[in-house]
Amino acid sequence: MIMYGVAGGIPDYRKENKMKASFRWFGDNDPITLEYISQIPGMRSIVSAVYDVKPGEIWPEESIRYIKESCEKKNLIFDVVESIPVPENIKLGSIDRDELIEVYCENIRRVAKYGVKCVCYNFMPVFDWTRTQLDKMAPDGSTSLVMYWDQLNGLDPLKDDINLPGWDTSYTKDEIKELFVKYAKLGEEGLWDNLTYFLEKVIPVAEEYNVVMAIHPDDPPYPIFGLPRIITCEKNLDRFLEIVDSPSNSLTFCTGSLGCSRENDIPSMIAKYSAMNRIAFMHIRNVKILEDNSFEESGHLTKNGSLNMYEIVKSLVDNSFDGYVRPDHGRMVWGETGKPGYGLYDRAMGMTYLNGLFEACESVKGEN
């Protein structure tokens, strides 16, 4: 039996006005075990999902229950889902979208039954993120994810045989080309219309079941190969939040995704949206923007990239942020191999660094 709020059990953070440290876990096939994750100082929550069910299908309750019980055995809490994928036919506004949205709503009900409080998702067409290389080696021997424009310029997905990291490999090349044509016809305003339709159906269900839907920004936050991108900047985040003005309609604020654009003032945006209580989930990582606006994922320290990590955390603490935080991607260091961006060592170091920043900022504010 798991005891809450007592020594040796799962601490009851719900009474504390502080961030909730979290870590992504890809299930039993993840080489980073729950035991390892539980040893990271301050770790509380597990971010996971049912990974063996296709988008648009209902998650079995036994699979959700298994994640919850596995986490509890290691004194961790499974209360964040990343993600329940949004099928392309919902984004495109296809004839079967109502049926698919009902399936989506049922999955919200099911994860809520097992204690999930936050669902991270995205509305990006075709692929979740774009990188041109997953193992770019730095001078110190570590490797990381990068996107270089000189490797993208001149490519045409309608003519060339392209298979970039982050693309959904379940599609055939002809299906990908067909999707590009459909999204070109739909355009940004069409995508906004379909996102509005989705939110107006889904957010009332999330409200009923005490779940916060937290949209992840486009990664990177600008068009790739002409595909529409809409969750990209402060103006568009304002527009998104106004569609359904509810605490259940909130943001996953990813500093690395939004921070790829020099136009986004990350600390200022965080201060604004955390003051509005519309950030449910923070993905905190650094990124180094290059002269031609290419970028490299870097170590978490401010000096390693283009983002001021102290100002980011200070903006959260100053506005009493009490949502979820995960260190997001990390480099591969110390000879570790595995899923690019999702090794143990650098993400654990990143979380420890973030813990220190939060503790320092809270002390200055007088919260400790």
What digits encode the pLDDT tens for the residues 282-293? 999 999 999 999
Of these ranges, 215-219, 329-333, 339-343, the one predicted with the greatest mean pLDDT is 215-219
Closest CA to 158 of 177, 185, 179: 177
In degrees and rounded to multiples of 5, residue 261 shows phi and psi of -105, 125
Do the strands 143-147 and 279-283 form a parallel or antiparallel pair, or are they unpaired?
unpaired
Q: What local confidence, expressed as pLDDT, does residue 178 receive?
A: 85
Assign 159 a pLDDT band (cuts: 50, 70, 90): low
Q: What local confidence, expressed as pLDDT, does residue 126 receive?
A: 84
Contact assessment for residue 227 and residue 190, using Cβ atoms and an 8 Å cutoff: no
- Check pLDDT > 80 for residue 158: no
Assign 192 a pLDDT band (cuts: 50, 70, 90): very high
Mean pLDDT on 170-193: 86
Contact assessment for residue 351 and residue 330, using Cβ atoms and an 8 Å cutoff: no
Q: What local confidence, expressed as pLDDT, does residue 153 receive?
A: 77
Long-range contacts of the stretch 89-98 (C-beta < 8 A, 24+)? 89/56, 90/194, 90/198, 91/123, 91/125, 91/191, 91/194, 91/195, 92/182, 92/183, 92/186, 92/194, 93/186, 93/190, 93/193, 93/194, 93/197, 97/194, 97/197, 97/198, 98/201
Q: What local confidence, expressed as pLDDT, does residue 11 receive?
A: 38
Mean pLDDT of the chain: 89
Assign 163 a pLDDT band (cuts: 50, 70, 90): low
Domain containing 231 equals: 13-365
- Domains in the chain, number: 1
Q: What percent of the chain has pLDDT over 70?
A: 90
Q: Judge whether 6 lies within some domain.
A: no
CA distance 14 to 120: 20
Q: What local confidence, expressed as pLDDT, does residue 120 receive?
A: 97
Q: Which two tokens stand for residue 213?
A: 């839907």
Q: Judge whether 217 lies within some domain.
A: yes
Q: Judge whether 5 lies within some domain.
A: no
Q: What local confidence, expressed as pLDDT, does residue 167 receive?
A: 63
Q: What percent of the chain has pLDDT over 90?
A: 71
Q: Which two tokens stand for residue 154?
A: 């001149």
Mean pLDDT on 184-191: 93
Residue with the larger pLDDT of the pair 272 and 163: 272
What predicted TM-score, i.e. pTM, was given to this entire model?
A: 0.90
Q: What local confidence, expressed as pLDDT, does residue 3 receive?
A: 34
Closest CA to 311 of 260, 241, 360, 238: 360
Assign 160 a pLDDT band (cuts: 50, 70, 90): low
Q: What local confidence, expressed as pLDDT, does residue 328 receive?
A: 86
Q: In this structure, what CATH number is given to the domain that contains residue 349?
A: 3.20.20.150
Q: Judge whether 271 lies within some domain.
A: yes
Q: Judge whether 4 lies within some domain.
A: no
Mean pLDDT on 248-253: 96
Lowest-confidence segment of 124-133, 135-144, 314-323 by average pLDDT: 124-133
Q: What local confidence, expressed as pLDDT, does residue 127 receive?
A: 80
- Check pLDDT > 70 for residue 9: no
Q: Which two tokens stand for residue 179?
A: 């999707």
In degrees and rounded to multiples of 5, residue 143 shows phi and psi of -125, 155
Other CB atoms closer than 10 Å to residue 268's CB: what's the count? 12
Contact assessment for residue 191 and residue 88, using Cβ atoms and an 8 Å cutoff: no
Q: What local confidence, expressed as pLDDT, does residue 7 receive?
A: 35
Q: Judge whether 333 lies within some domain.
A: yes
What would the pLDDT profile of 47-103 be if each residue is shown by its tens digit?
Answer: 999 999 999 999 999 999 999 999 999 999 999 999 899 999 999 999 999 999 999
Q: Judge whether 8 lies within some domain.
A: no
SS3 content of the chain, % helix, strand, coil (to 5): 40, 15, 45
Mean pLDDT on 99-118: 97
Other CB atoms closer than 10 Å to residue 116's CB: what's the count? 26
Question: Alpha helix locations (H) across 168-233?
Answer: 173-208
Angstrom CA distances, 156 to 161, 163, 174, 223, 233, stand at: 8, 11, 14, 13, 26
Q: What local confidence, expressed as pLDDT, does residue 258 receive?
A: 95
Lowest-confidence segment of 61-65, 174-178, 200-204, 343-347 by average pLDDT: 174-178
